[in-house]
Amino acid sequence: MLGNLDNEVIFKKAFTDKLVFKTFVKDILGVEFEVGKIETEKKFTPKIGLIDFELDIYAESVDKRVCIEIQRVEYDHHFSRFLHYFLMLIAEQQKTAKEYNIDQTVYMIVVLTAPYTISQKNGKPILDEVLLLNLNPQTLKGEIRDLFGHQFVCLNPNHPDQDTPKQIRDWLDLIYQSIHNPQRPVLNTQNEGIKKAIELISIDNLTPEERTLAKNKEATRVTIAKIENRRNIEIARNLILLGLENDTIAKGTDLTVEQIEQLRREQN
């Protein structure tokens, strides 16, 4: 049985292993990365951009910076938040640069473990398994000029796409099945990184301390979720009194239309 990669403790145990980290980065980004020190809860001193942000998993080599973030709860601001992280990792290099050159290529990989609840500016839902952002300029014909190479990759296994490359699919399967099918996962153990990750997060291989930490993290998350849910219910009740439609209220809270309809019946 696998530990849940939706849990911060389990996730960090797997992805701070050098073999897992290196293989994951190669499969997702297609780049070789010589792993040195892997840090968790990485902060920069002094602060970058006047914001004291923290990175889940961070490592760098002479020519690359790679950070991996896990985002379990869907916040409306999370794309803006991670874009900020991404850009600040680039800007931070200017502190010691004599010129405007940026010596290290920055890569950010974000793993989302919940379905998207936000939409595009045109109102259409975001239902993509893999989203890519790079900062290279392109011509009016769409031809990309490879000047920088910085990449931001967002992964969400809750929106499977048949066109996702197999080397990425294998990791998304690991993440998804550790959450939804931990007892009988069907995974590609021919991939050495995935095989090692499976070994690391196997319930039998977790120490008593790791089990305790994982349970505490989960208990904290459940408590926060309950508080957020109560807050959303109160907001929904007030919006019902104002005469708003169910769909509009659903967009302003994390409640479903069915839950809002039940609240409406209770108030009536």
Tally Cβ neighbours within 10 Å of residue 113. Answer: 23
Lowest mean pLDDT across 39-43, 166-170, 171-175: 39-43
Query: Is 74 a residue whose pLDDT tops 90?
Result: no
50: left (phi over 0), alpha (psi -120 to 50) or beta: left
Residue 6 to residue 204: CA distance in whole angstroms: 18
Lowest mean pLDDT across 33-37, 94-98, 160-164: 94-98
pTM exceeds 0.75: yes
- What is the model's pLDDT at position 75? 56
Report for 62-66, 113-117, 151-155, 222-226: range of highest mean pLDDT: 151-155
- What is the model's pLDDT at position 196? 97
Query: Is 193 a residue whose pLDDT tops 90?
Result: yes
Tally Cβ neighbours within 10 Å of residue 244. Answer: 16
Residue 85 to residue 90: CA distance in whole angstroms: 9
pLDDT band at 188 (very low <50, low <70, confident <90, very high): very high
Which whole number is the average pLDDT over 29-37? 88
Query: Is 181 a residue whose pLDDT tops 60?
Result: yes
Residue 89 to residue 47: CA distance in whole angstroms: 11
Which whole number is the average pLDDT over 118-132? 87
* Residue of 217 and 212 predicted with greater confidence: 212
Query: Is 243 a residue whose pLDDT tops 60?
Result: yes
Lowest mean pLDDT across 95-99, 142-146, 205-209: 95-99
Whether 24 contacts 193, CB under 8 Å:
yes
Our CA dihedral for 212, 213, 215, 218, rounded to 10 degrees, sits at: 170
- What is the model's pLDDT at position 210? 86
- What is the model's pLDDT at position 162? 93
- What is the model's pLDDT at position 73? 54
Residue 201 to residue 176: CA distance in whole angstroms: 14
Which whole number is the average pLDDT over 165-177? 96
Tally Cβ neighbours within 10 Å of residue 240. Answer: 19
Which whole number is the average pLDDT over 79-85? 84
Percent of the chain with pLDDT over 70: 93
When the pLDDT of each residue in the chain is averaged and rounded to a whole number, the result is 86
pLDDT band at 263 (very low <50, low <70, confident <90, very high): confident
- What is the model's pLDDT at position 18? 94
Query: Is 152 a residue whose pLDDT tops 90?
Result: yes
First to last CA, the chain: 47
Largest CA distance in the chain: 68
Which whole number is the average pLDDT over 130-155? 91
Residue 194 to residue 203: CA distance in whole angstroms: 16
